[in-house]
Amino acid sequence: MANVSKKVSWSSRDEDSAQGEDTPLLNGASAVRYTRQFSGSSIFHIGRLSTVDLEEEHSEEEGAVLSRPKEIPHNEKLLSLKYEGLDYDNSENQLFLEEERRMSYMGFRCLEISRWVVCGLIGFLTGLIACFIDIVVENLAGVKYQVVKQNIEKYTEVGGLSISLILWAVLNSAFVIVGSVLVAFFEPIAAGSGIPQIKCYLNGVKIPRVVRLKTLMVKVGGVICSVAGGLAVGKEGPMIHSGAVVAAGVSQGRSTSLKKDFKIFEYFRRDTEKRDFVSAGAAAGVSAAFGAPVGGVLFSLEEGASFWNQMLTWRIFFASMMSTFTLNFFLSIYNEKPGDLSNPGLINFGRFDSDSVEYNLYEIPVFICMGAIGGLLGALFNVLNYWLTIFRIRYIHRPCLQVMEAMLVAAVTAAVSFTMIYFSNDCQPLGPDQSEEYPLQLFCDDGEYNSMATAFFNTPERSVRSLFHNPPGSYNPLTLGVFTLSYFFLACWTYGLTVSAGVFIPSLLIGAAWGRLFGILLATITSSGSIWADPGKYALIGAAAQLGGIVRMTLSLTVIMVEATGNVTYGLPIMLVLMTAKIVGDYFVEGLYDIHIKLQSVPFLHWEAPATSHSLTAREVMSSPVTCFSRIEKVGTIVDILSNTSTNHNGFPVVPRVSDDNEPGRICGLILRSQLIVLLKHKVFVERAQSRLQQRRLQLKDFRDAYPRFPPIQSIHVSQDERECMMDLTQFMNPTPYTVPQETSLPRVFKLFRALGLRHLVVIDHENRVVGLVTRKDLARYHLGKHGLEELQLAQT
């Protein structure tokens, strides 16, 4: 690795002065400054003494590595620069402070009440959407299965079941094509479950288009089609995304897409408030999907919260409760039992009887074993899906191809299902309390039905419930084994298709199948069948293990599972199982969502800085030199800097006066690109204010009106005369940005950054002069690899 190549003009001088005066600490540290270019370079292992040089002319030996990013635009060793951070930290400029100080105590009370109203609305609308999806899917799937069932029954006698197969495959493909076209051509961000995207958003990364109305429309349409199309997917994951979009929309009191402004909730038009509401929306989504309001709150906190606030949590809980309640209420009306509120959630694990719920001490090792199996299978699933995703990124990036792949998967799913059912000879008697919706007789005797069909010829939600609750003996082990195997690969192939779909239900289904199999085998091996009598219990544990092995969620998933089961007795075993699955799975590969986040090269901040990163200081991680503005700056300079596409900075420290030789000035504020854009748009120039005294003073409202889609700098016309004007940034900049000295260790910088949800952190020297800027990318670059601390490369894509 090359050594220090170039010091920016003033930085060496600064170091000298620091040594000379009162920072002898610097002598001991082997800190090295470097300028950074984003053209790409390889991954460096950072030791205490390593120095990094990212300038291309010095790294010819890394040419081979350098060329890789061109092959694979998405790579988990890259960090994309196209993602911006959210401004979770309020810019407390003069306008803001004046507004806050003007506001009376009653004003704050009203705000607080409107926050509650917004959360209630979010919950209500999310519940409604869940209800809509559920009813439409049930009906479409019902029609489909009825048609196919009649067809099969018709041809079972006379032969020619291949026609049924074709009918089934065509119906499935038709649904899936519609869903896939919607996603691929109209809104690609609506693909998948949306959970990785929402995780990123809650982490503080702005994912373009993720919380737009159009995304919601496509998501809802897409998920209906893909579930009705019989893919191995669930409708639960997308609910989380839907809830988030609802929250982002409702809380702003307007729709930019529909160009409709209701003139309400204007105070909430900033990232701080919006992100809080989006957490509530995500929680409401989880809550509607699983009937798990507490689980929803924990999901939001686990994924999003940097700072836990009691009132916020309580509001999130309210949104969650509202959404479960709404869904529950409308479904109860739809099911003609109005007012019966004891069946919350899109998926319902059914009621576990008190008798079957009990477990014994000696079962705990068995559960832990199952957790390990779940971890292994989950890791396998993730690795396969990872390869598949890499393949997709390389070769299947055109929408047409994506639609064709989705169609293919739909047809194959139907074909596999049909073949399985066809060759299965597991016939079970039709009981009096028949829980099967579409019992297929096929080649079974009268009064019997094909047991394989209960698993395949059904919506996945119903199949899960059957596996949990059907009495012992409903399935034979071979059926379960074959089903697990085939569904595993189908689900793995399906996740990542260009359709809206979740991975929760397929995971649960796979797990429930092998869990039940496990339970049956256990009862067979141990002759004392009565103890291990209930295979449904093992199905539940298996489902938890598999899901935990794939998504690696912890506390929130435990609570979600417990709430969906409706019985807290299983808390301990589920927790143990999830913990084991996570530990075993993490040994091999990360969770599915994290894999997809990494493949998108999102600068995602984890909870803590890598353990061994105390050797790094702010000086080493910061970006420098920093582009600063003078407190009173020439318009031309501002326009030029904002227009510079090669840097594309978003936050600019403000100093009293930028000197010509780029000497660092004392920090006196921080201003954002978005604020400058608004100022330019309104032409807030010193000369104008002097000439036209009646000109309206810019208010916070003007910034809010432009939020969140600030126009690009190119669309703002600045004449040659105006370029010579001056702009006074004093009342618009944040006069008290958070700063750290340059000797601060990386974990300390990280903690401050993460706890306060910052976007820019100014690094200062001992005289309060700006020497660098730490942004999200500077912190997300470092991660613990197999060989110690590794650094990701930055890419413009």
Using the contact rule CB under 8 A, the part of the chain among 91-99, 403-411, 455-463, 717-725 near a second copy is 91-99
Closer to a second copy at the Cβ: 17 or 37? 17
Provide CB contacts within 8 A for 29, sequence distance 6+. Answer: 617, 619, 743
By beta-carbon proximity to a second copy, the closer residue of 649 and 766 is 766
User: Closest approach of Cβ 208 to a second copy, in Å?
Assistant: 27
Query: How many angstroms separate the CA atoms of 125 and 109, rounded?
Result: 24
738 interacts with a second copy by CB under 8 A: yes
Site for a second copy in 361-420 (CB under 8 A): 361-362
Residues 672-731 that bind a second copy (CB under 8 A): 730
759 binds a second copy (CB under 8 A): no
**Of 338 and 429, CB closest to a second copy:** 338
Q: Is 297 an interacting residue with respect to a second copy (CB under 8 A)?
A: yes
Examine residue 478 and tell whether it contacts a second copy (CB under 8 A): no
Please name which of 266, 496, 269, 524 lies closest in space to residue 386, comparing C-alpha atoms.
496
Among 176, 185, 320, residue whose Cα is nearest residue 240: 320
CA distance linking residue 512 with residue 504, whole number of Å: 12
**Cβ proximity of 766 and 787 under 8 Å:** no
Strands 739-741 and 760-764: parallel
- The answer to whether residue 117 forms part of the interface with a second copy (CB under 8 A) is no
Options 79-87, 131-139, 672-680, 739-747: segment touching a second copy (CB under 8 A): 739-747
Q: Which uninterrupted H or E stretch holds 587?
A: helix 571-588
535: nearest Cα among 279, 356, 383, 726: 356
Q: How many residues does the chain have?
A: 797
Closest CB 627 distance from a second copy, rounded Å: 19
Least Cβ distance, residue 703 to a second copy (angstroms) = 17
Whether the Cβ atoms of residue 665 and residue 646 lie closer than 8 Å to each other? no
Q: Does 568 bind a second copy (CB under 8 A)?
A: yes
CA 69, CA 556: separation in Å to the nearest integer?
36
Residues 655-674 within binding reach of a second copy (CB under 8 A): 656, 666, 668
Residue among 370 and 575 whose Cβ is closer to a second copy: 575
Structure-block tokens of residue 517: 């199999």
Distance CA(36)–CA(180), nearest Å, equals 41
Question: Which one of 133, 248, 321, 718 is in contact with a second copy (CB under 8 A)?
Answer: 321
**Closest distance of CB 554 from a second copy, Å:** 5
End-to-end CA distance of the chain: 25
Closest to a second copy by CB, 364 or 384: 364
Instruction: Specify the DSSP element, H or E, that contains 510.
Output: helix 504-525
> To which residue do tokens 């080649």 refer?
443
**Contact call for residue 175 and a second copy (CB under 8 A):** no
How far apart CA 797 and CA 794 sit, in angstroms, is: 9
State the minimum distance, in angstroms, from the CB of residue 753 to a second copy.
Answer: 11
Does residue 485 bind a second copy (CB under 8 A)? Answer: no
Q: What is the DSSP string of 63-113?
A: HHHHHHHHH-SS-TTEEESSPEEP--S----HHHHHHHHH--HHHHHHHHH
37-56: contacts with a second copy (CB under 8 A): 48
Answer yes or no: are the C-beta atoms of 538 and 467 closer than 8 Å: no
Rule CB under 8 A: say whether 555 interacts with a second copy: yes
298-317 residues in contact with a second copy (CB under 8 A) are 301-302, 305-311, 313-314, 317
* Residue 110 C-beta: closest distance to a second copy, Å: 11
Pairing relation of β-strands 427-429 and 669-672? Answer: unpaired
- C-alpha 51, offset from chain centre: 34
Among 351, 634, 688, 723, binds a second copy (CB under 8 A): 351
Q: Enumerate the β-bridge partners of residue 794.
A: 79
Longest dimension (CA), the chain: 98
176 versus 553: smaller Cβ distance to a second copy: 553
Site residues for a second copy, 331-350, by CB under 8 A, read 338-342
What the block records as the tokens of 742 is 């340059």
Q: Which of residues 624-653 bind a second copy (CB under 8 A)?
A: 631
Binding to a second copy by residue 621, rule CB under 8 A? no
329 binds a second copy, rule: CB under 8 A = yes
Which residue number, 612 or 650, has a Cβ lying nearer to a second copy?
612
Based on CB atoms, which residue is closest to a second copy, 85 or 737?
737
Sequence-distant (6+) residues with CB within 8 A of 409 are: 176, 231, 490, 493, 494, 497
What's at 298, amino acid-wise?
Answer: L
Q: CB of 331: closest distance to a second copy in angstroms?
A: 13
Residues 584-613 touching a second copy, rule: CB under 8 A, are 607-608, 611-612
Q: Are 301 and 313 in contact (CB under 8 A)?
A: yes
Among 580, 674, 744, 793, binds a second copy (CB under 8 A): 744
Question: Is the CB of 177 or the CB of 684 nearer to a second copy?
Answer: 684
Nearer to a second copy, 93 or 226 (CB): 93
Which residues 488-547 are close enough to bind a second copy by CB under 8 A?
none
Contact region with a second copy (CB under 8 A), list: 15-23, 168-176, 378-386, 504-512:
15-23
Positions of E strands within 256-299: 260-261
CB 515 → a second copy: shortest distance, Å?
20
Q: Which of 351, 406, 362, 387 is nearest to 532 (CA)?
A: 362
In the complex with a second copy, the residue whose CB is nearer, 24 or 63, is: 24
DSSP designation for 186: I
Binders of a second copy in range 225-284 (CB under 8 A): none
With binding defined as CB under 8 A, does residue 743 bind a second copy?
A: yes
- Exposed/middle/buried for 160, CB within 10 Å: 0-12, 13-18, 19+? exposed
Residue 736, interface with a second copy (CB under 8 A)? yes
- Interface residue with a second copy among 137, 346, 562, 678 (CB under 8 A) is 562
